[in-house]
Chain A
Amino acid sequence: MENRTDKNSYTVIFAIGMVIVVGALLAYLASSLKPKITENQRLEKQQNILYAMGINENDETSAVFISTDKAPEAFDQNVADQIVITIDADGKVIKTQSRDEYFEETNQEPYLIDVKKQQANAKDGKERKLPLFVGKNSDGKTVYVAPIRGKGLWDAIWGYVALDENMVVQGAYFDHKGETPGLGANIKQRYFMDDFIGEHLLSKNGEFKGITVAKGNADPKNNDKTDNEVDAIAGATITGDGVTAMIKKDLKLYLPYFNSLKGK
């Protein structure tokens, strides 16, 4: 006698039933947990920005964010303004808004601007909004934090770089979606991120050069801060190249703003 579960009709009904049950379960879970996840992501952005500004709870060796319950207060205290620079497809500045002006126009906090979406806009020849967070770092110096985003070996990588008015790096935070643990994933380790501190984005003649994550660097201790190079991670060439590319591409867009600062 044929087994009940071998019948075609049973197989089809089982497949349909399973898809409906699993689909409903996942949809329910995803939608009921969404507010909580969005809130976590919002806090993470604040923590990232504060981290790049030097406001964190780092110990000797590891990178530790300011805790989530302290982050909103610290963010309000330390971030004096969130500037939004709107550029057209050729990189020309159309307008520069303060946080209040931007909030009035869009009812959205500038730090929630989705960098990925803005990059896609620029690709389509549309306007791109560049957020820039101004605040005082732990030494009381005014820094400008810019978000950057690019691609690593497997998936997206992104970060926040804090600059002073001469485009010298004051702090950097990098993160990734799925780089290889032990290799590319080490871009979010202290020893890599801290190497960027003090590096110049401009060449000695004041042209924009970016910072290259260089292999075979003659300066592994990173004593020379004006060489526009930091030491690469062994075995993570493509992730390192991704970091180089996102710094060059995204931070360059802020050059006109920094030039205008000098004029003042």
Chain B
Amino acid sequence: MAKDSRLILDPLTDNNPITIQVLGICSALAITAELEASIVMSISVLFVMGVGNVVISLMRNIIPSKIRIIAQLIVVATLVIIVDLVLKAFAYELSKTLSVFVGLIITNCIIMGRFEAFALGNGPWRSFLDGIGNALGYGIILVIVGFFRELLGSGTLLGIPVLGDPIEKTGLYAYGYENNGFMLLSPMALIVVGIIIWVQRTRNKALIED
């Protein structure tokens, strides 16, 4: 039986949900055009994964196997709707920022994947750690992709210009540098994820499948 710490550390590197398990790609492409959205999405998924994995783990002995996928879906959807409602009532500003992500969280394959692969067969504490670990592994890739896309696509980080002003031609732009608009489109996210996968597998040959 793997040690508890492996449950958190493995998904960050050698068992990363995006680069190794290739799950959750859709949201990684959709919302990484800016760093802030990547961070918000990572935190939301962290919360839903942590709580969801514990709930499913507690219910694992009473969920009928024939309808377990539906039951899992109901748990995710319920959690997300509860969070959305509570935020709308008590943190309205924040809820508007998050409303875009609600749909993306429910359909995130990593969440369903971890429920199915881990929480249904393990106790609540280990499921919690697994959820946190996978959400962090997902988040780290999102933040890396968001960092490069926002930097090269808009010349900003977290909305703050870091390379100068493209219209006034100051900073780097004075030397003829131009923002790459293509970075803002989804195909480039896939290419950036591809580059991360390439780097990761070059460094650790054991990850290369036949």
Binding site for B on A (CB under 8 A): 5-6, 10-11, 14-15, 18-19, 22, 25-26, 29-30, 33, 36-37, 40, 43-44, 61-62, 175, 177-183, 185, 189, 220-221, 234-235
> 0/1 per residue, B69-99, Cβ < 8 Å to A?
0110010001001100110111010001001
Pick out which of these stretches binds chain A: B27-35, B45-53, B193-201.
B27-35
**Across the interface, which residues of A come within 8 angstroms of B160, CB to CB?**
61
Interfacial chain A residues near B64, Cβ < 8 Å: 5-6, 10-11, 14-15
| Distance to closest chain A CB from B106 (angstroms) | 13
Q: Max chain A CB contacts within 10 Å: which of B30, B37, B100? A: B100
Question: Is there an interface contact between B167 and A25, defined as CB atoms closer than 8 Å?
Answer: no
State A178–B149 Cα separation when bound (angstroms): 20
B185 at the interface (CB under 8 A from A): yes
**Chain A residues closer than 8 Å to B181, beta-carbon distance:** 234-235
Give the total of B residues in contact with A, Cβ under 8 Å: 40
Known: A5-B65, A25-B78, A235-B181. A36 touches B34 (CB 8 A): no
Interfacial chain B residues near A11, Cβ < 8 Å: 64, 66-67
Does residue B63 face the partner (Cβ distance < 8 Å to A)?
A: yes
* B185 lies within 8 A of A235 (CB): yes
Whether A40 pairs with B88 at a CB distance below 8 angstroms is: yes
The residue that B167 contacts in the complex, of A15, A40, A62, A220, with Cβ under 8 A, is A220
B159 sits at the interface (CB 8 A): yes
CB distance from A250 to the nearest CB of B (A): 22
**Docked CA distance A249–B37 (Å):** 32
Does the CB pair A29–B34 fall under 8 Å? Answer: no
B-chain residues with CB within 8 Å of residue A180 when the two chains form the complex: 30-31, 33
Q: Are B63 and A5 in contact (CB under 8 A)?
A: yes
Q: Which residue of B lies closest to A13 (CB)?
A: B64
CB < 8 Å: which of A36, A181, A235 contacts B37? A181
A48 nearest CB across to chain B (Å) = 12
Docked complex Cα distance between A8 and B66 (Å): 9
Contact of A44 among B89, B92, B184 (CB under 8 A): B92
Interface of B is mostly: helix
Are A183 and B74 CB-contacts (below 8 A) given A5-B62, A37-B89?
Answer: no
**Minimum distance in angstroms from A131 CB to a CB of chain B:** 22
**Which positions 134-174 of chain B face chain A at CB distance < 8 Å?**
149-150, 153-154, 159-160, 167
| 10 pairs, CB–CB < 8 Å, chain A vs chain B | A15-B70, A25-B82, A33-B85, A36-B90, A178-B100, A181-B36, A182-B33, A182-B37, A235-B181, A235-B184
Q: Which residues of A contact B121 (CB under 8 A)?
A: none
Cα distance, A22 to B75, chains bound together (Å): 9
B103 within 8 A of A: yes
> A181 and B31: CB pair below 8 A?
yes
A5, A14, A182: residue with the most chain B Cβ atoms closer than 10 Å: A182
Q: Is the interface of A mostly helix, strand, loop or mixed?
A: helix
Contacts of A36 in B (CB 8 A): 89-90
Q: Which residue of A lies closest to B88 (CB)?
A: A37
Asked if residues A26 and B66 are in contact (CB atoms below 8 Å), the reply is no
Closest to B31 in A: A181
Chain B residue nearest to A7 in the complex (CB): B64
Whole-angstrom CA separation of A43 from B66 in the bound complex: 47
Q: How far is the CA of A126 from the CA of B196 in the complex (A)?
A: 57
The answer to whether B34 touches A181 (Cβ under 8 A) is: yes
Q: How far is the CA of A177 from the CA of B159 in the complex (A)?
A: 20
CA distance A25 to B75 in the complex (A): 12
The 4 A-B pairs at the shortest CB distance, nearest first, are namely: A182-B33, A181-B37, A182-B34, A11-B64
CB distance from A26 to the nearest CB of B (A): 6
Given A44-B92, A182-B184: 8 more A-B contacts, CB < 8 Å: A26-B81, A29-B85, A30-B85, A33-B86, A62-B159, A182-B33, A182-B37, A182-B154
A178–B62 contact, CB under 8 A? no
Provide the residues of chain A in CB contact with B78, threshold 8 Å: 22, 25-26
Distance in angstroms between the alpha carbons of A42 and B50 in the assembled complex: 34
When distances are taken between beta carbons in the complex, the residues of chain B under 8 Å from A22 are 74, 78
The smallest C-beta distance from B122 to any residue of chain A, in angstroms, reads 17
In the assembled complex, the CB of B46 is this many whole angstroms from the nearest CB of chain A, namely 18
Q: What is the chain A residue whose CB lies nearest that of B168?
A: A221
